């Protein structure tokens, strides 16, 4: 049984939408209700066939209905038997008016391919129901002169549509046509329009790399079936193994290369058009997603994408246009300078992108959609809280996968994905984006909230600001964000597992069980801390973590073991690492489950070094087998969970990685059960980057079936979501 809450906005009132929902719910044998509110249509359905309902809701909606965006949230069943239409109620929540960028709608697509339409094959076709919003607005109110469309003067035809309340383009701010709107231009050759487009198509067919200006920035595109060009792209972009997203022309084409569930299909065709991580069938070039069984698939979301993909019989790698670790390029001049060396052609246009916005990424975890990156198509939709905040907050987020947030009343608005704020360049982008939000929303915070890590650039930035400020512990912020998005008011047990975060005792945490409310937390259990040999280096080299654990287990004898992490180092390196271990030099303590997972990957010989965050965990995830039901023993001493026996088990099973991985993950779930039973709090929140692991989350939910388990569905469980937790903490602080 599943229950979902669906909020729809757009043209959904006065078009027979509620009777349609009623019939559909009956048809799918679901209970619940539908009602109109001031903002759109609100639906709750419950039953077995909610996924079918969601899919058909989009496919079979009344012809006049236009869904601008929809928010779907999975909830615990409450036992609805009947389905009914509820009478309207006046909306109370105050609307925050900026919409995200919305994928090209069906009507515009029809016109795009209609030779008789005046916008036939026009790459910037849009209407009231679709097109750019967040990426073109310069200031509020959202009106044409306040967007980057201000430099284009409407022709008389467009103006007529724009002013006609009967027209689909009535007050569509980015309205444009071939006579008056933006144009394509190819760099460096200078072709325009159709000529530019056909040259790009030819180049892609010939195995070239083309940079294409999209909605929130540039993509680098190339044939996803051609391993030579994909490898060439990796070389130019300096991106070793981190998977590339692939854009397919339609669902049918994706299904040639990947297995899709109904839920994944619904996510792929949703107006947000996120990248969805799906299980590969094979067939794509090996270098697209090296060593992994998942691929990041998505569908065209701008008319230009549609025109390109529809002229090709192969899918395209579509990765953000940048050098590895740098922010996505959005301006033409920047593109020529930075993407010129990476690509054979650059397809530019003259509609300016006001703010960068990377593609969003979603993955189905534990049966529910989990945002991995919440950005284009989702931002700046607010998270609405079930309570009011005491003050206005700017929450600066963490360091990796940064987002920041502004919060007031019962509203939290998270920024788009900023990236890893590790160098001067990303710090500048961070500052610029904060300033942008302040101006856009005329926002001035009462307080700034930051992470406790003294060396996060975002913490340093917060410290330099002339506002009151407060720090929040990293893993507590993770849990708070899960509580906030689920609207929980009661105390929870937060299971907060990730790579690392700064603990209140100055060590690195990451395997935490926290008893939390909105004011305080208590660290009730945690994994036994171990040493990260070489500090930061241990993050890149799981072998260092594994060796450290083996030294804990076997002392110096560990150095003689015939195990992959030991064999990975030469004698000299082993001596140095042993010294670091025994004299505690550059070997900080950590309780991180992320690092434990890395160590297991190392001992199983899967990965001694990683080239991107989470790589080892993703490889492990692929090996998990639901047929394996047993676990390893573990011991709890006081409030520490000792992993000694778990590790011994993994070492014993090392010749059968599938068994070892499955038992290991089952054991982690069993540890959660042990703690939950001991702590005895009804509600359990799962957060932190480790909770992006599908089998792990599924198993924890299974083991904790006697508890109310909450996961993330609106913001990422990784560090991209902690600004929400920070914002809520700061906003609820008692007034000084
Ligand atoms: Zn449209
Ligand atoms: Zn026009
Ligand atoms: Fe974290």
The predicted pLDDT at position 325 comes to 80
**Mean pLDDT value of segment 481-486:** 97
**Mean pLDDT value of segment 707-728:** 98
State the distance from the centre of ligand 2 to the C-alpha of 378, rounded, in angstroms: 29
9 vs 678 pLDDT, higher one:
678
* pLDDT classification of 93: cutoffs 50, 70, 90: very low
* pLDDT classification of 521: cutoffs 50, 70, 90: very high
User: Cα–Cα distance between 665 and 661 in angstroms, integer?
Assistant: 6
The predicted pLDDT at position 153 comes to 97
Nearest listed ligand to the Cα of residue 511: 3
Phi-psi region of 623 (alpha: psi -120 to 50; beta: other; left: phi over 0): alpha
The predicted pLDDT at position 355 comes to 96
Nearest listed ligand to the Cα of residue 481: 3
* pLDDT classification of 19: cutoffs 50, 70, 90: confident
Give yes or no for residue 90 having a pLDDT over 70: no
At a CB cut-off of 8 Å and minimum separation 6, what does 576 contact? none
State the distance from the centre of ligand 2 to the C-alpha of 421, rounded, in angstroms: 41
100 vs 510 pLDDT, higher one:
510
DSSP of 627-667: T-------EEETTEEE-HHHHHHHHHTTT-HHHHHHHHHHH
State the distance from the centre of ligand 2 to the C-alpha of 219, rounded, in angstroms: 27
Kindly state the percentage of the chain with pLDDT values over 90. 84
Distance of CA 527 to the CA centre of its chain: 27
Average pLDDT of the residues of the chain:
94
State the distance from the centre of ligand 2 to the C-alpha of 210, rounded, in angstroms: 28
Nearest listed ligand to the Cα of residue 162: 2
647 vs 163 pLDDT, higher one:
647
The predicted pLDDT at position 627 comes to 97
Per-residue b or e along 278-312, where b marks 16 or more CB atoms closer than 10 Å to that residue's CB: bebeeebbebbbbebebbbbbbbbbbbbbbbbeee
User: Cα–Cα distance between 126 and 251 in angstroms, integer?
Assistant: 22
The pair of structure tokens assigned to 129 is 């129901």
* pLDDT classification of 39: cutoffs 50, 70, 90: low
**Mean pLDDT value of segment 190-218:** 98
The predicted pLDDT at position 163 comes to 83
**Mean pLDDT value of segment 459-474:** 97
The predicted pLDDT at position 652 comes to 98
State the distance from the centre of ligand 2 to the C-alpha of 160, rounded, in angstroms: 9
Nearest listed ligand to the Cα of residue 402: 3
The pair of structure tokens assigned to 279 is 């299980």
* pLDDT classification of 91: cutoffs 50, 70, 90: very low
CA atoms within 13 A on the CB side of 84: 6
Q: Give tens-digit pLDDT for 578-626.
A: 999 999 999 999 999 999 999 999 999 999 999 999 999 999 999 999 9
Residues, CB within 5 angstroms of ligand 2 (ion): 155, 158, 177, 179-180
Nearest listed ligand to the Cα of residue 160: 2
State the distance from the centre of ligand 3 to the C-alpha of 233, rounded, in angstroms: 30
State the distance from the centre of ligand 1 to the C-alpha of 106, rounded, in angstroms: 7
Q: Give tens-digit pLDDT for 130-160.
A: 899 999 999 877 789 999 999 999 999 999 9
State the distance from the centre of ligand 2 to the C-alpha of 176, rounded, in angstroms: 5
The predicted pLDDT at position 88 comes to 61
Q: Give tens-digit pLDDT for 670-717.
A: 999 999 999 989 999 999 999 999 999 999 999 999 999 999 999 999
68 vs 373 pLDDT, higher one:
373
Flag the least confident range among 102-106, 107-111, 288-292, 480-484.
102-106
At a CB cut-off of 8 Å and minimum separation 6, what does 351 contact? 124, 132, 136, 148, 149, 152, 174, 181, 182
State the distance from the centre of ligand 3 to the C-alpha of 685, rounded, in angstroms: 14
User: Cα–Cα distance between 94 and 429 in angstroms, integer?
Assistant: 30
């Amino acid at each position: 049984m599943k229950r979902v809450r669906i909020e729809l906005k757009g043209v959904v009132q006065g078009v027979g939408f509620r009777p349609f929902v009623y019939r559909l719910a009956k048809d799918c044998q679901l209970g619940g209700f539908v009602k109109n509110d001031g903002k759109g249509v609100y639906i709750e359905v419950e039953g077995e066939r909610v996924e079918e309902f969601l899919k058909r809701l989009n496919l079979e909606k009344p012809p006049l209905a236009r869904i601008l965006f929809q928010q779907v949230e999975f909830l615990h069943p409450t036992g609805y038997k009947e389905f009914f239409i509820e009478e309207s109620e006046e909306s109370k929540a105050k609307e925050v008016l900026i919409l995200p960028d919305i994928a090209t709608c069906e009507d515009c697509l029809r016109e795009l391919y209609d030779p008789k339409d005046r916008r036939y094959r026009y790459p910037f076709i849009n209407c009231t129901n679709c097109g750019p919003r967040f990426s073109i607005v310069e200031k509020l109110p959202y009106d044409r002169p306040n967007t980057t469309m201000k430099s284009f003067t409407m022709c008389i035809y467009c103006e007529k549509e724009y002013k006609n309340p009967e027209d689909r383009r009535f007050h569509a701010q980015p309205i444009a046509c071939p006579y008056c709107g933006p144009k394509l231009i190819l760099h460096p050759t200078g072709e325009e329009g159709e000529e530019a487009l056909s040259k790009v198509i030819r180049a892609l067919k010939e195995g070239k790399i083309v940079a294409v200006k999209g909605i929130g920035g540039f993509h680098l595109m190339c044939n996803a079936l051609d391993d030579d060009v994909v490898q060439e792209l990796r070389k130019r972009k300096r991106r070793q193994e981190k998977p590339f997203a692939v854009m397919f022309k339609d669902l049918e084409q994706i299904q040639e290369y990947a297995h899709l569930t109904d839920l994944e299909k619904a996510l792929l065709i949703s107006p947000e058009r996120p990248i969805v991580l799906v299980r590969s069938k094979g067939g794509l070039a090996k270098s697209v997603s090296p060593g992994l069984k998942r691929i990041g698939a998505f569908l065209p979301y701008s008319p230009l994408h549609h025109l390109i993909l529809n002229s090709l019989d192969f899918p395209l790698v579509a990765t953000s246009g940048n050098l590895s670790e740098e922010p996505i390029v959005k301006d033409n001049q920047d593109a020529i300078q930075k993407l010129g060396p990476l690509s054979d052609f650059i397809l530019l246009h003259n509609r300016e992108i006001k703010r960068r916005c990377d593609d969003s990424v979603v993955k189905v975890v534990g049966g529910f959609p989990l945002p991995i990156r919440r950005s284009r198509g989702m931002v700046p939709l607010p998270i609405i809280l079930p309570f009011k905040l005491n003050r206005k907050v700017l929450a600066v987020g963490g360091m990796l996968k940064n987002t920041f947030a502004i919060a007031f009343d019962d509203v939290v608005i998270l920024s788009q994905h900023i990236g890893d704020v590790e160098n001067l360049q990303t710090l500048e982008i961070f500052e610029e984006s904060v300033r942008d939000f302040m101006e856009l929303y005329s926002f001035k915070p009462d307080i700034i909230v930051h992470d406790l890590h003294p060396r996060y650039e975002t913490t340093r930035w917060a410290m330099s600001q002339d506002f009151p400020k407060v720090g929040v512990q990293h893993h507590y912020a993770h849990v708070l964000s899960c509580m906030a998005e689920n609207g929980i008011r009661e105390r929870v047990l937060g299971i907060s597992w990730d790579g690392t975060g700064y603990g209140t005792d100055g060590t690195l945490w990451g395997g935490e069980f926290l008893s939390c409310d909105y004011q305080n937390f208590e660290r009730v259990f945690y994994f036994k801390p171990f040493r990260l040999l070489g500090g930061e280096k241990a993050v890149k080299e799981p072998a260092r973590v594994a060796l450290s654990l083996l030294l804990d287990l076997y002392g110096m004898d560990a150095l003689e073991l015939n195990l992959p992490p030991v064999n990975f180092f030469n004698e000299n390196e082993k001596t140095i690492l042993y010294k670091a271990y025994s004299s505690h030099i550059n070997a900080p303590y950590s309780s991180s489950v992320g690092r434990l997972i890395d160590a297991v990957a190392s001992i199983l010989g899967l990965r001694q070094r990683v080239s991107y965050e989470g790589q080892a965990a993703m490889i492990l995830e692929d090996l998990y087998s639901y047929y394996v039901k047993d676990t390893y023993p573990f011991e709890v001493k006081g409030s520490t969970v000792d992993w000694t026996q778990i590790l011994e088990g993994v070492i014993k099973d090392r010749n059968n990685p599938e068994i070892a991985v499955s038992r290991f993950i089952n054991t982690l779930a069993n540890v959660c059960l042990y703690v939950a039973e001991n702590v005895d709090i009804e509600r359990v929140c799962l957060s932190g980057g480790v909770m992006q692991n599908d089998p792990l989350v599924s198993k924890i939910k299974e083991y904790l079936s006697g508890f109310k388990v909450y996961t993330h569905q609106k913001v990422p469980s990784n560090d991209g979501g902690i600004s929400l937790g920070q914002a809520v903490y700061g906003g609820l602080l008692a007034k000084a």
